[in-house]
Structure 1
Amino acid sequence: MNPSGKLRGQQHGKKNLLTRATEFNKELQNCLNLCNVKGYEESEIRGYLNNFTNDICLHRWKLKGKIVALFAFLILLIVVLIKYGISCGYENWLIRHLLISALPYWNWPSYYDARCLVENPKYTTFSLSVQDCEMCEDYSSIQRLPISEKMQVGSYLTHELPLIISNGSFNVLRKNISNVREFAREVMMDDGHSLYNPCGFSSNLRGRSKEQYTLMNMIKSEQFSSKFYAHWENCDTLAAKEFRLFYSRPPSLPAMLQLDGSNWVMLCSDFDGTVPRRIQLYSSVTIVMVIKGNMKLMLIPKYTCQHSCNNVTQTMKDNDLLLITDFVWDLYYIPNCSQDETIVFGVGGRFE
């Protein structure tokens, strides 16, 4: 859509509104002057103006009724078109045309792009400040803890420090999977994953296909490349629920940490990657579980702390578990598994 055209439409709508208000004000002033010339008393003038404003209100209600009736007719028309299988191309054109026509009078794109329709003035959220960067100013490597010291995990979380628990994801996988291809095939053939597209899908198998789940199509056609990587988030509720059947809650997690609904997976087979791939952190805590192989990850400080904190690069080993909050760092990983295969699970969480 042409922004200049949209702006002209808004200005035209405001000009029409201003012109009508000016004309209404002139008519009202002329009416008042006429009543004064004829010697009407104040009570008579008020009664006459009440009749005048009542007519305006009645006209306004009639106009609103016509608009409601028009919308009801359009909705009924769309329902009929869908019910009787008429091509949806025309109805899509009609809806777009109506929305574009409404732009000079109703700026609906602001609602379409809004994350929250009703703001809560009492809601406050944490924001990263320059003073908070002191916690990562001299941070060079992620602390490791043996699983026997899991009682200290809560202290790391409350201080926003990332932590790796050695053998923290041991025996988390509920099914016996021998290799990446077998695991990918079993996941993709599941109904919850074959019916719904994932979020944040990234892979060297994407190609030019319009389908987001190119990896699933490759598995179905048995045209599996010997070298590939792929990661995605099971953001759909059904897909995330089905994927939870593949893993159990790690026993190394403290009771204060609750797991969220969504989860994600990263697969890598004989791929020699060098470019860091970002993992979007939508939860306050992210749990990364290495089920098989190794995973090279990178913590990059957020923009506020980039002047005082350095990138942290570390390799997670087989059965390692990472806990990281979304406060200071952004999480990246490098799909480099030329010597081995890698299977990694991720799940969001929160703590109080």
Structure 2
Amino acid sequence: MTTTRSNQKKVQQQQKDMEYQEKLKLLDEELMSFYQYCQQVGFSEAEMDMIVAPLVATLRKSLMKKLAKVFGAVLTILALCYCAAQLGSVSMHFAALGRLFMIKLLPFWDWTSMFYESCLVSNPFYGEYTLTEEDCVSCEALEHVDRLGGVAYEQLLDGYLNRDAPLIVVDAMESWPVMNTDDFWFDNITQLYLQDEKLVDTVPCILTTNLRTGSSDLHAFLKRIHSPKVDKWFVHWQNCDIHAVKALRKFYQRPYFLSSSVSPAHFNWVLMSSDYNTKIYKKVELDSGLIMLAQLRGSTAFRLTPHNPCNSSCPELLGDLQEGEMLVFTNFMWTFEYFPGRNLDNVAILTETVWEEGST
């Protein structure tokens, strides 16, 4: 019985299709006859355009209505998908399906090389500076990191930055309000991210910690360390979202020794730890530029290693950054690594600023 009904529907559909095709064929023949008649009578092209203008306008309106319906349907589907993606469980399934699709795509297109690229489109005007053995003369005689106070910008520029020599400024943060606040702690950082509406969905570009969070969800991590049951941890993350970069600036200021012509930091980092005793250095992947590490609480042990080929002729520089001190260097020459001090609470902020060698 069901098969019979199905066959009847197919026959009816075929009849409708045949009727539709016959109507189109008849309409096409009539239009051709009308066109030939107009040519025989002697109508010009302009006159023929005027005659068929109402028909053309009607066809265009019909086509536009169809396109509007299709476009509206596509927008509705996309809007529904976007709203659904805001739900945690749905978003997780979408991400899983997307990963499966990308994996299935590998036999036809190897996208893995693009995944690890920092820029998808190369800039023809950008040329990355490469160290040569001639550059190593600036660091081969360095034995330690100098500690100075009352530093003038010209002194910093000529004596250190233009010579690729790092420096610790011991009085860089004396006027900062955060340094004169006794109750500053992790709560100040966590509340900044948990209470600011613009930072609710912020995702750090890089997050490294010994606590297994299962994702780069900064909010989940901050809520976790807020619990008194969690101890012996460290974390550092990079803010590259503009709202997060601006929000963190409330905890630091432009150092007195830096010229106003130097642009503000384009990225910033937070380095925090609690009772995390280790001697294993943690590498921080920094963009090339002017790097300033401000120690707000506790201390940080650091190691600066020369890039290849200068690592064979220049020594590693080791040092300790104490509360209120700031490490300043350009990382054209140096790789930065650190491990948290043995204090119960350690908080530092690192900034990355665009810097051209020989800037004045």
Query: TM exceeds 0.5?
Result: yes
Distance 1:97 1:312, change over 3 A: closer
List alignment gaps of at least 5 residues for structure 1. 1-71
Deviations 1:50-88 (A, max 9, x none): xxxxxxxxxxxxxxxxxxxxxx9x977963762785978
- Which structure has the larger Rg over C-alpha atoms? 2
Contact 1:146 1:167 in 2 (8 A): yes
What pairs up with 1:68-107 in 2 under 5 angstroms?
79=78, 82=81, 85=84, 93=97, 97=101, 100=104, 104=108
Partner of 1:145 in structure 2? 148
The residue that corresponds to 1:313 in the other structure is: 318
RMSD across aligned C-alpha pairs, in angstroms? 3.5
Partner of 2:4 in structure 1?
none
1:163 and 2:162 correspond: no
CA contact under 8 A between 1:291 and 1:343: conserved in structure 2?
A: yes
| TM-aligned CA distance change 1:83 to 1:316, over 3 Å | closer
In the TM superposition, what are the counterparts of 1:234-273 in structure 2 within 5 Å?
234-273=239-278
Give the direction of change, closer, same or farther, for the CA distance of 1:118–1:183 in structure 2 (3 Å limit): closer
1:134 alignment counterpart: 137
CA change 1:184–1:227 in 2 (3 A) is farther
CA positional deviation for 1:101: 6.0
1:327 aligns to 2:345 (yes or no): no
Cα deviation, 1:206-255, whole Å, max 9, x if unaligned, reads 235445435313145x3453433222112221111111122222222233
What is the alpha-carbon distance in structure 1 between the residues aligned to residue 293 and residue 326 of structure 2? 6
Distance 1:144 1:217, change over 3 A: same
Q: How many residues align?
A: 277
Shift in alpha-carbon separation, 1:171–1:117, aligned structure 2, 3 A: same
Structure 1 residues 84 and 317, CA, compared in 2 at 3 Å: closer, same or farther?
A: closer
Aligned-partner SS, 1:260: coil
The aligned counterpart of 1:336 is 341
Partner of residue 30, structure 1: none
Listed as ranges, the matches of 1:1-352 within 5 Å are: 79=78, 82=81, 85=84, 93=97, 97=101, 100=104, 104=108, 114-155=117-158, 156-174=160-178, 176=181, 178-191=183-196, 192-204=198-210, 206-207=211-212, 209-210=214-215, 212-213=217-218, 214-219=220-225, 222-338=227-343, 341-351=345-355, 352=359
Change (3 A) 1:93 1:176: same
Select between 281-290 and 194-203 the one with higher mean Cα deviation: 194-203
Distance, in Å, in 2 between the alignment partners of 1:177 and 1:124 is: 46
Amino acid at match of 1:153: L
- Matched residue SS, 2:265: strand
Identity level (%):
23
Long gaps (5+) in structure 2: 1-70
Q: Alpha-carbon deviations, 1:248-273, whole Å to 9, x = none?
A: 22222233432222211112333212
Relative to structure 1, is the Cα distance of residues 194 and 176 closer, same or farther in structure 2, using a 3 angstrom cutoff?
A: farther
Distance, in Å, in 2 between the alignment partners of 1:209 and 1:101 is: 26
2:209 counterpart letter in structure 1? S
| TM superposition shift of 1:124 | 2.6
1:327 aligned counterpart, secondary structure: coil
> Structure 1 length normalisation: TM-score?
0.66
The normalised TM-score by structure 2 is 0.65
Partner SS, residue 188 of structure 2: helix
Amino acid at match of 1:158: N
The amino acid of 2:279's aligned partner reads T
> What amino acid is the match of 1:82?
C
